[in-house]
């Protein structure tokens, strides 16, 4: 299973913020420069993370973004489920657009379903704190 760039960027933002002091506000530009990724993409990601409640945003002078949780309280499996647009590992996972003629007799979707479940269960065993690199960037 490959994560979308959206989820990848979401995790990067959370990791960057997790390496900061609890109330330290960070600018999107700073994160974009650190990871060498698009500020426009990050702006969308941060907006969504804010709507999901993972980060807080403060507008205006002295504003920025910060984690809304302690790193040890933010579950990676939950974040991935919240930021991935779908988990269709094969065509048969998408009931609306499934054109596979083997679906009625194929057991592969059950095997892949078990694999996906195991994948997400592993992610559920980790928090943001578990995946933070040592040292503070910048």
CA torsion angle for 37, 40, 44, 47 (degrees, to 10)? 100
CATH number of the domain where residue 111 is located: 1.10.10.10
DSSP conformation letters of 92-113: GG-TTT---TTTTT--HHHHHH
38-47 confidence digits (pLDDT tens): 999 999 999 9
What predicted TM-score, i.e. pTM, was given to this entire model?
0.85
Q: Is residue 136 part of a domain?
A: no
Number of domains in the chain: 1
Per-residue model confidence (pLDDT) at position 101: 75
Q: Is residue 138 part of a domain?
A: no
For residues 13 and 42, give the distance between their C-alpha atoms in angstroms, rounded to a whole number. Answer: 8
Domain that holds residue 83: 5-131
113-135 confidence digits (pLDDT tens): 898 899 999 999 999 999 998 75
Q: Is residue 16 part of a domain?
A: yes
| SS3 (DSSP) at 73 | helix
């Amino acid at each position: 299973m490959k994560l979308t760039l959206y989820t990848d960027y979401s995790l990067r933002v959370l990791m960057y913020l997790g390496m900061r002091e609890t109330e330290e506000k960070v600018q999107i530009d700073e994160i974009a420069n650190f990871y060498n990724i698009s500020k426009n993409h990050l702006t969308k990601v941060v907006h969504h993370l804010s709507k999901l409640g993972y980060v807080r945003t403060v507008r205006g002078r002295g504003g920025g973004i910060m984690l809304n949780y302690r790193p040890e309280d933010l579950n990676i499996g939950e974040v991935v489920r919240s930021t991935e647009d779908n988990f269709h590992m094969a065509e048969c996972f998408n009931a609306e657009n499934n054109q596979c003629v083997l679906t009625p007799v194929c057991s592969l979707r059950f095997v892949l379903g078990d694999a996906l479940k195991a994948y997400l269960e592993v992610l559920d065993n980790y928090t943001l704190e578990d995946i933070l690199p040592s040292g503070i960037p910048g």
